A and B are shown apart, each in its own frame.
Chain A
Amino acid sequence: MSSEMDEILQDFIVETEEILEALDEKFVELEKDQSNKDLINEIFRAVHTIKGAAGFLGLNQIVDLSHASENVLKKLRDGLLSPSPEITDVILESVDKLKILVDKVKNNDKTPEDIDSLLTKLKKIEEGQTPISEPIKKDEIKEDPESKVESEAQREDKKVASVVSSNQKIDTALKAPLKQDTEEHKDKPQVEKTIRVDVERLDTVFNLVGELVLGKNRLTKLSNVLADKYPNDPDVINLNEAAEFLQLISTELQTAVMKTRMQPVKKVFNRFPRMVRDLARSHGKEIELIIRGEETEVDKSVIENIADPLVHLIRNAIDHGIEPPEERKKLNKPTTGKIILSASQEGNNIVISVLDDGRGINLEKVRKKAVEKGIVSPEEAELLSERELTEFIFHPGFSTADKVTDVSGRGVGMDVVKTNLARINGSIDTLTQQGRGTKFTIKLPLTLAIIQTLMVEVNNMVYAIPITSVLEAVRIDNSEISSVDGQEIIKLRGEILPIVRLSELIGFNHSNGADSHYVVVVQSYDRRFGIAVDRLVGQDEVVIKSIEGNIINLNDSNIFAGATITGEGKVVLIIDIPAAMEFIKQGEAQYV
């Protein structure tokens, strides 16, 4: 087994165990509130996620069992079955069985588990033979607890068995040479040794490290002063060395703490090549997956929340988007379809997009379906814009697929995408063109992300400009600034560049009237402009922080994207470049 596969498998185990654990809680809730549709929907999605992940890992038993449970849950959700304790029992049994199956994967136990009787039970329920209404069911009710006890007993047995086997292992290990033992260990996929820590606790550690750095700075300064005063005093030399050492350690500590929260999106993207290949093959499609910007770092919470949405988007692209090769040939498209998955930092957002060159979304079909589902009236439907129509695909239970496959078509995917993204304040934008393809663009805020900034000064105040938007910085003379129709411009290598003075942007009165300025050339979307500042301070890696409470709302200012604390402990505001561009567009940045 390759190490990459190993990692994916381990992730699957950790995730699935988490999901199953959460399911237990949800069932307890459901027991209290049988008619809670949201809860059923949540359980349904969880099972769906397990199925999807197990599917591309080739864990067939898990797929079969979750597929069968999902069918029942779907009927419950859609009101085709009414919930009853008997049904819940069977589903619970399935969940228990899933746990056993996942345990087996974890222990690399390849012996098949008996799931047939459970599958039959689920099938019967799905076909409407609710345990109460039919006499056969009585037997089954009797059977049920028994089989449960049995499975419980089996599990006990297994536990004993595993204890025995591990005892044996110890025995053999004791007898056998060390080498063998390590080999034996290699066979097992070792579950990652992680602990879950509340982000808030990490934040506290992070803040304290920041304070430590400040204290260190003060100490360094002091020791330098002493070194100047008493250059030959051995104690002072010692002090200096200690301060230097402290500096080294604290810098490393700071990076280490920062890193605890940041992870490259690669961690999520890694699983897709395999998934795309397998799915493409099973669908008889030729698909090339292109991944860009996988080194982009995002906060752990973001990583956790984008995995599911991306799985759904990519599966949809494979299943609904990309056409089979013959069809593509007819359409004069290259037979190999393309899916481009890319991540980048744009201004103050992390943008992840999934683009396919497939058939696009059939908006007419969406319109019909929306009417069919009773979401809108036929009259209303006619008036909907393309944008409004594409929004429907995020509606729970909405699917334009004609048949249900093990990949998609149940209409679960897209609403999961939306809910998961909303949880981290993300948004999703859909761009589709029939016959040409679909592009989903996910935008996530950088709230916790670390960004590189260019520190600039104006009116003796320092501000930060995200370096991802900065193209270059040039020094210009006041005489080089001219004004066209109220808009200040400079000529940069023959090109006209509109500029805005930072002092005006921020709302200070006109700047100090210095003769020369620096112009930071920035780019937002596809527009370039310059920001005139008094001085360039330097480049700094900062963590965007929020301001305590809600008495200051930076969003209201439309100029700042956030705030940060520099190494010296000063609060610096971060300029929102797209907002600054708006400023130019509105033509408010006029020469005063």
Chain B
Amino acid sequence: METTVFDNQKKQSRESVQTVTFFIGPELYGIDIRNVLEIIKHYDITPVPNCAEYIEGVTNLRGRIVPIINMKKRFFLEDDGQRKEGLIIVVESSDSTAGLIVDSLSKVVDIPGEMIEPKPDIKNGKNSRFIEGLGNLKDKTVIILNCEELLRPETERNYQ
């Protein structure tokens, strides 16, 4: 198909997804920037006993009490407690807000729509519900996360 550069860019900007990318362990993940409220550096987490293991606690976000999710534990990974940067990405879903502890922040990238693949059909992957799709960048793949699912509690699993 013959398209001018201009047209191409236009098409891209229409379909591409601005994605905030970050590392959890060695993996690069991304969240649609429209779901990202802010990134906080200084925070004070109050632990909440007796709730899901991946809940690190809660913090005060300008008068709102926001749960903080330990992404490693959310993904059933080992958490060595080391935080490279100790950043929290505050994300919003349709009915909730939460902070996500990530290892380190990468950059905001434009992933063109055609470079996003639907999530692979992983058989009963524990984490597959959190994955929205895969974004192919030049040199690497970004796992694009589904915020709605991330902020939704397990129904079948009881806290404790």
Interface of B is mostly: loop
Contact B96 A550 (CB under 8 A): yes
Cβ-closest chain A residue relative to B54: A551
**In-complex Cβ contact of A546 among B65, B69, B95, B151 (8 A):** B65
With a cutoff of 8 Å between Cβ atoms, the chain B residues found around residue A571 in the complex are: 44, 46, 57-60, 65
Q: Mark A135-173, 1 if CB is under 8 A from B, else 0.
A: 000000000000000000000000000000000000000
- B48 A573 Cβ-Cβ under 8 A: yes
- A569 and B60 CA atoms in complex are apart in Å by 7
B60 A565 Cβ-Cβ under 8 A: yes
- Report which of B63, B67, B151 forms a contact with A565, defined as CB distance below 8 A: B63
Complex CA distance for A550 and B96, rounded to whole angstroms: 7
Mark contacts of B133-160 with chain A using CB atoms, 8 A cut-off: 1 yes-contact digit, 0 otherwise. 0000000000000000001110000110
Instruction: Compute the total of residue contacts between A and B using a CB distance below 8 Å.
Output: 96
Do the beta carbons of A549 and B96 come within 8 Å of each other?
yes
Interface 1/0 per residue, B27-68 and A, CB below 8 Å: 000000000000000001011111110010111101111110
Whether B50 lies near A507 (C-beta < 8 A) is yes
Q: Which residues does chain B contribute within 8 Å of A556, judged by CB atoms?
A: 50-51, 158-159
Contact between B159 and A553, CB atoms less than 8 A apart: yes
CB contact between A573 and one of B46, B66, B159 (< 8 Å): that residue: B46
Q: Which stretch, A25-33, A204-212, A343-351, A419-427, touches the partner chain B?
A: A204-212
Whether B97 is near chain A, meaning CB under 8 Å from some CB there, is yes
Spell out B's residues near A (CB within 8 Å).
44, 46-52, 55, 57-60, 62-67, 69, 93, 95-98, 151-153, 158-159
For residue A525, CB closer than 8 A to chain B, the reply is no
Main secondary structure of the interface of A (DSSP, over half): mixed
Contact flag A551-B96 (CB < 8 Å), given A206-B63, A571-B58: yes
**Distance from A270 Cβ to chain B, minimum over Cβ atoms (Å):** 33
Least CB separation from A206: chain B residue:
B63
Distance of A44 Cα from B108 Cα, bound (Å): 58
Chain B residues whose C-beta falls within 8 Å of the C-beta of A547 in the assembled complex: 58, 65-67
Contact of B48 among A208, A210, A545, A557 (CB under 8 A): A557
A132 at the interface (CB under 8 A from B): no
Closest-by-CB residue of A relative to B152 is A551
Q: Which of A506-562 contact B (CB under 8 A)?
A: 506-508, 545-554, 556-560
Tell me, yes or no, whether A229 is within 8 Å of chain B by CB: no
What per-residue 1/0 map shows which CB atoms of A289-304 lie under 8 Å from chain B? 0000000000000000
The chain B residue with its CB closest to the CB of A507 is B49
If A461-B46, A557-B48, A557-B49 touch, does A552 touch B58 (CB 8 Å cutoff)?
yes
Q: With A208-B63, A507-B49, A549-B151 given, can you name 10 additional A-B contacts, CB distance below 8 Å?
A: A211-B63, A547-B65, A548-B96, A549-B97, A552-B51, A552-B52, A556-B158, A560-B48, A569-B60, A571-B58
Known contacts: A547-B65, A565-B65, A569-B44. The answer to whether A553 contacts B49 by CB under 8 A is no
* Chain A residues closer than 8 Å to B49, beta-carbon distance: 506-508, 557, 559
Are B98 and A551 in contact (CB-based, < 8 A)?
yes
Q: How far is the CB of B151 from chain A (nearest CB, A)?
A: 6
Contact of B63 among A210, A557, A559, A560 (CB under 8 A): A210
Q: Which of chain A's residues has its CB closest to B62's CB?
A: A211
Tell which of B48, B50, B66, B159 touches A548, judged by Cβ atoms closer than 8 Å.
B66
A554, B67: Cα distance in complex, Å: 12
Minimum C-beta distance from A100 to chain B (A)? 45
Query: Contact at B65–A551, with CB atoms within 8 Å?
Result: no
Contact B50 A551 (CB under 8 A): no
Interface residue A563 (Cβ < 8 Å from any Cβ of B): yes
Whether a CB of chain B sits under 8 angstroms from the CB of A570 is yes
- Which residues of A are found within 8 Å of B63, using beta-carbon distances? 206-208, 210-211, 545, 565
Report the count of interface residues on A (CB-CB < 8 A). 31
**Residues on the A chain within 8 Å of B159, using CB:** 553, 556-557
Q: How far is the CA of A556 from the CA of B44 in the complex (A)?
A: 23
Task: Determine if A275 is an interface residue (Cβ-Cβ < 8 Å).
Answer: no
Q: How far is the CA of A556 from the CA of B60 in the complex (A)?
A: 21
Minimum distance in angstroms from B148 CB to a CB of chain A: 11
Q: Closest 3 A-B residue pairs measured CB to CB?
A: A207-B63, A549-B96, A571-B46
Collect the chain A residues with CB atoms within 8 Å of residue B66's CB.
Answer: 547-548
Please name all residues of chain A whose beta carbon is closer than 8 Å to the beta carbon of B58 when the two chains form the complex: 547, 552, 563, 571
Out of B44, B60, B69, name the residue touching A551 (CB < 8 Å): B69
Is A246 interfacial (CB 8 A cutoff)?
A: no
Chain A min CB distance to B78 (Å): 22
A211 to B63, CA, bound (A): 7
From A210, A211, A545, A548, give the contact of B97 (CB < 8 A): A548
Question: Least Cβ distance of A104 to chain B in Å?
Answer: 46
A207: contacting residue among B47, B52, B59, B64, CB under 8 A: B64
**Contacts of A312-365 to chain B: CB distance below 8 A:** none
- Are B46 and A572 closer than 8 Å at their CB atoms? yes
Q: Contact between B44 and A548 (Cβ–Cβ < 8 Å)?
A: no
Residue pair B59, A552 in contact (C-beta under 8 Å): no
- Does the CB pair B65–A563 fall under 8 Å? yes
| Smallest CB separation, B67 vs chain A (Å) | 5
Complex alpha-carbon distance, A510 and B95, angstroms: 38
Bound together, the chains give a CA A206 to CA B64 distance in angstroms of 10
A545→B65 contact, CB < 8 A: yes
- In the assembled complex, the CB of B155 is this many whole angstroms from the nearest CB of chain A, namely 11
CB of A570 within 8 A of CB of B44, answer yes
10 pairs from A and B in contact (CB 8 Å cutoff): A211-B63, A547-B58, A548-B66, A548-B96, A550-B96, A550-B152, A550-B153, A556-B158, A563-B65, A570-B60
List, in ascending order, chain A residues with CB within 8 A of B59's CB.
Answer: 571
Q: Determine the chain A residues whose CB is within 8 A of the CB of B52 once the complex forms.
A: 551-552
State in angstroms the CA–CA spacing of A557 and B49 once bound together: 8
Kindly list chain A residues whose C-beta atoms are within 8 Å of the C-beta of B95.
549-550
B63's nearest neighbour on chain A, judged by CB, is: A207
